[in-house]
Amino acid sequence: MYPPSQISKDRSFNEDDWNTESTLEKEPYRYSKVLAEKAAWDLAKNAQFDLVVLNPPFIIGEVLGSLKTLDDMNLSNKIVLQNVLNAKNGKSVAVNGFGIVNVTDVAAAHVKAATDLENPLIKNKRFVIADKSYSFPEIAREAMRVLPEEFSSTEIKIDGDEAYGKDKRTPLMDGSRWKTIYTDFKYKPLEVSIKDLVHTAKKNNLWH
């Protein structure tokens, strides 16, 4: 939901932002997300029904089904886990990052919206569902902090300039609009999401 070229440590993206840069040839996956949401808004307008759109960034956490390989994971979990495994195995961690949200928080937000559709504060609006953004080095360090027994070293190899990755490659997400309406909504900390993800990896023999 954000234009990648505008990522900066001095700017947070919110519900007013749209990805206007991705195309069918460049970043088609991101482009598909834009087209899907715009189609939903057009349908709601033409068919005259109300709509609430929730925009989570990277969704990570426990996977309930069985997995044979990392490729069986959703893309967000796969990318985060691969970087944590790289840190574990002394390989390089990417410098970029994303907004992170636990899958159970996304589910809770959907339930909240679905059971409160007549609320004029959310009706026909879009929301960022995210609390914070993290670079992959930050995620790897948090994994080392909360699961020290899983790592033989606290050193991280980083694939590039970490400061640049944090500044220009990690989009900051502003999810305050949702929290302003639902003041009791609490996001799970990164620590919980990492533990959930590692648990999934171990359960499916992918933690190696």
For residue range 17-48, what is the model confidence (pLDDT) as tens digits?
999 999 999 999 999 999 999 999 999 999 99
Give the domains, in start order, of the chain with CATH numbers. 4-203 (3.40.50.720)
The pair phi, psi for residue 7, each rounded to 5°, is -65, 130
Q: Are 130 and 98 in contact (CB under 8 A)?
A: no
What whole-number distance in Å separates Cα of residue 164 and Cα of residue 168? 6
Q: Which residue has the tokens 């967000």?
A: 76
User: What's the rounded Cα separation, in Å, for the pair 141 and 189?
Assistant: 14
pLDDT of 4 > 90? The answer is: no
50: tokens are 């109300």
Structure tokens at 61: 């956490």
CB neighbourhood size of 25 (10 A): 7
- Helix, strand, coil percentages (3-state) for the chain, rounded to 5, are 45, 15, 40
Taking 80 as the threshold, does the pLDDT of residue 1 lie above it?
Answer: no
| Rounded-to-integer distance, Cα 166 and Cα 137, Å | 9
Token couple for 200: 């999934």
Residue 3: which pLDDT band, with cuts at 50, 70 and 90?
confident
User: What is the reported pLDDT for 122?
Assistant: 98
What integer is the mean pLDDT of 179-197?
96
Q: What is the DSSP code (8-state) at residue 126? A: E
pLDDT tens figures, 41-92: 999 999 999 999 999 999 999 999 999 999 999 999 999 999 999 999 999 9
Class of residue 118 by CB neighbours under 10 A (exposed 0-12, middle 13-18, buried 19+)? exposed
pTM assigned to the model: 0.92
pLDDT bin (cut points 50, 70, 90) of residue 131 is confident
DSSP state of 127: E
